[in-house]
Chains A and B, each alone.
Chain A
Amino acid sequence: MKGPSNFLTIVIILVTIVSLLINLPDSVSLPKLPVLNTSPATVKLVNINTLLKPIGLEQNVAFRRGLDLEGGTSITLRAEMKAIPSDQRKDALESAREVIERRINFFGVSEPVIQTSFVNNDYRIIVEIPGVTDVNQAVSLIGQTAQLSFWEEAPSATPSGQIASPSALPLGVEQVIGQSARQTDLTGKDLKKAAVTFNQNTGEPQVQLTFTSSGTKKFGEITSRNVGKIVAIVLDNVVIQAPRVNEPILAGTAEITGGFTLDQAKAVQIQLNAGALPISLSVLEQRAIGATLGDQTVQKSLIAGAIGFLVIVGFMITLYGRLGIVATLALTVYTLLTLTIFRLIPVTLTLAGIAGFILSIGIAVDANILIFERMREEMRKGKSAHASLDIGFSRAWSSIRDSNIASIITSGVLMIFGTGMVRGFALTLAIGVLVSLFSAITVTRTLLRIVYK
């Protein structure tokens, strides 16, 4: 008995220390103490990054906050797919998503979340932009249909007056073609689709463009007059590809080669399809939460959570005395471990997610209460503390197991079939319940064995 118990003790101590290191902030600012008349001080703490920095493994382990806590804008867009052939709708949606992501990144927003979904025969894009609360700006930024255009070097005979001024050129065109670039009459409408194919000789991935009949004619003319020159492909005013024309292409299909990896080729294909399969987007839902509102909610919830934890501790110690202290230690390890997992996965914390976490804390407390009550029962029957511990634990285990499995079933179903918010709830609940099973079997039990040695 002694061997595994010692081993578990060490494991628990290690897990606790690592969790503590991950959860500690970089520094804490101490409140100004009126009595001592000290100035507000900031104390630097040792945490995971202080240790990992010297060996260059610094990690961002901050909580990922959902929009209701972080503040920001969430927009749900519906994609109009009537004009798109049904077998290309998924590609079109993926391309539209890609375009939105590019626009938002270009706008300099950190960590936007852009997801596609298919619900009730509706193709949708859900955009979450943390920090930005100007809905109107956000909608005008992402709601437009993507524009694909092709640019060529203007013939030298053209009088300089007809050439667009360099400032009006899309980003990157000047670098690849030069100041004398001009837009051709070829647009996304002329492109039927883009696909990733493999070069028959080299086996390298390449991007194949297929043009419509009018596109074939226009593209033939462009390639004829630009042999040996660059034709720039521009999406939303930024150059995405600048292939050199090797020969006139009259057949209506063209390949862009150039040492792509498969992923790069796919990325180009998606961008081109955004122009080839343009879908118009309409706003189904929009929300903006002010950052201060989110901060207030977090502040208040944190304070309430801390008080709640103290209440549990006080209650458990009043009820169970020495055992209450065991429960407190076990719960502290439990909380640290769960928060660590939230940080590492990372789980996006929303109000609903916090609710799931609170329920799981309740379940963890309950596991301790179940074990203690069973132990007391055995002790009342006159058994020794050590025997009561083992019997009490094994008797309580079937309740803990069955009730927790029921919770895991519920959260599993909700995770698969629920929508955003419900899923957030189910995820934190599932993680919490799994950790509480672990903490009941190992932490509480090991601590009890130490107490009743």
Chain B
Amino acid sequence: MLDIIKRKNLYFLISLLVIIPGIVSLFVYGLRLSIEFTGGSRTTLVFSKAVSDKAEQSVRDAYAVENIEIGTIQRSGDALIVRAGTMTEKQDARLLSSLTKSEGNVRQESFENIGPTIGKETTTKAFYAVLLASALIVLYIVISFRKVPKPASSLQFGICAILAVLHDVLAVVGIFSLLGHFFHVEIDSLFITAILTVIGFSVHDTIVVFDRIRENLLRVSGQPFATIVNNSILQTIVRSLNTSLTAILVLLTLLLFGGETIRWFVFALLIGVISGTYSSIFNAAPLLVVWEEYNQKRKKKV
């Protein structure tokens, strides 16, 4: 029979190998934040034909006249996406009229101009909400698992579940830090939603495994804790994989057919779901065993 608990250190190592580069990148490169967090403007200009070098140059010139610093310009077919500093609506109107003069029919498909305060608020609020939600989930698990027989304690279950969530969040954020540095992928407000979704999935997945451990602890007596945990993992592994596969298949269809707007959002979910499945099987449950073994050792010393 497959013994996951025996090889738990190998699985922890795999987790670290995935997470550590991301964390390093987070400290070295940070995150490439979109204007929703930093403040600035993002304008999509649609031209009557494919964007020429000349058209792009006139856009640069028009921004220069208004004294607005351009961050990046991205070309896609007949559209230009310009990320730049904040601008007033008057500046925007002047820009458009001067571009219409030099380039003919130019349409402003989307325009966003964001002061720096708003993004910070969304992030800090979401951050505190997640902290509070985590605390409440630990509390709920502590209450719901209170009948778990010794040697386990329900607090251990709660904390291990949250550690698994932390694992998944770090995996996604870390990978996006790398993507941001090497492929210019930006973190926008949808990314926060993705992280929230990953947290939801991760807790959900971990609780299903823990529920099985709880049930087996109550029904089977006389077996070592590690064996019970291992059996519980094996009993739920088919369900975990089936559920994740369904989610992954749906996400892949979204990635293929869902269009540009949600591409990176779906990609973040994909990493999160894979990581969430991995962490509930290979991290959360084995962590319970590690904790338990530590308790045993301490008892022996005393």
Binding site for B on A (CB under 8 A): 76, 119-120, 122, 133, 135-136, 139-140, 283-290, 292-293, 296-297, 300-301, 303-305, 307-308, 311-312, 315-316, 319, 351-352, 355-356, 358-359, 361-363, 365-366, 369-370, 373, 377, 395, 398-399, 402-407, 409-411, 413-414, 416-419, 421-422, 425-426, 429
Total of A-B residue pairs, C-beta within 8 Å: 220
Q: How far is the CB of A270 from chain B (nearest CB, A)?
A: 27
- Cβ-defined partner of B197 (8 Å) among A119, A283, A301, A356: A356
Q: How far is the CB of B38 from chain A (nearest CB, A)?
A: 13
Q: How far is the CB of A302 from chain B (nearest CB, A)?
A: 10
Query: In the assembly, what is the distance between CA of A359 and CA of B200, in Å?
Result: 8
The answer to whether A403 and B204 have CB atoms under 8 Å apart is: yes
- List the A residue with the shortest CB-CB distance to B203: A406
The answer to whether B193 and A421 have CB atoms under 8 Å apart is: yes
Q: Which residues of A contact B249 (CB under 8 A)?
A: 308, 311-312, 315
The answer to whether B92 and A136 have CB atoms under 8 Å apart is: yes
Query: In the assembly, what is the distance between CA of A256 and CA of B108, in Å?
Result: 48
- Cβ-defined partner of B126 (8 Å) among A301, A316, A355, A418: A418
The answer to whether A312 and B246 have CB atoms under 8 Å apart is: yes
The answer to whether B114 and A285 have CB atoms under 8 Å apart is: yes
| B50 interface hit (Cβ, 8 Å) | no
Secondary structure at the A interface, as helix, strand, loop or mixed, is helix
The answer to whether B207 and A406 have CB atoms under 8 Å apart is: yes
Given A120-B121, A288-B111, A352-B193, does the pair A366, B243 have CB atoms closer than 8 Å?
Answer: yes
Query: In the assembly, what is the distance between CA of A364 and CA of B215, in Å?
Result: 22
- Cβ-defined partner of A288 (8 Å) among B110, B136, B207, B245: B110
The answer to whether B190 and A351 have CB atoms under 8 Å apart is: yes
The answer to whether A403 and B125 have CB atoms under 8 Å apart is: no
Which residues of chain B from 163 to 218 have any CB-CB distance to chain A below 8 Å in the complex?
Answer: 189-190, 192-194, 196-197, 199-201, 203-205, 207-208, 211-212, 214-215
Given A355-B193, A413-B132, A421-B193, does the pair A362, B201 have CB atoms closer than 8 Å?
Answer: yes
| B109 interface hit (Cβ, 8 Å) | yes
| B294 interface hit (Cβ, 8 Å) | no
| B253 interface hit (Cβ, 8 Å) | yes
The answer to whether A407 and B110 have CB atoms under 8 Å apart is: no
Q: Which residues of A contact B121 (CB under 8 A)?
A: 119-120, 419
| B21 interface hit (Cβ, 8 Å) | no
| B105 interface hit (Cβ, 8 Å) | no
The answer to whether A425 and B193 have CB atoms under 8 Å apart is: yes
Query: In the assembly, what is the distance between CA of A355 and CA of B92, in Å?
Result: 33
Query: In the assembly, what is the distance between CA of A288 and CA of B109, in Å?
Result: 8
- List the B residue with the shortest CB-CB distance to A314: B249
Q: How far is the CB of B266 from chain A (nearest CB, A)?
A: 9
Q: Which residues of A contact B108 (CB under 8 A)?
A: 133, 288, 290
- List the B residue with the shortest CB-CB distance to A420: B122
The answer to whether A283 and B259 have CB atoms under 8 Å apart is: no
- Cβ-defined partner of A402 (8 Å) among B89, B92, B133, B144: B144
- List the B residue with the shortest CB-CB distance to A360: B200
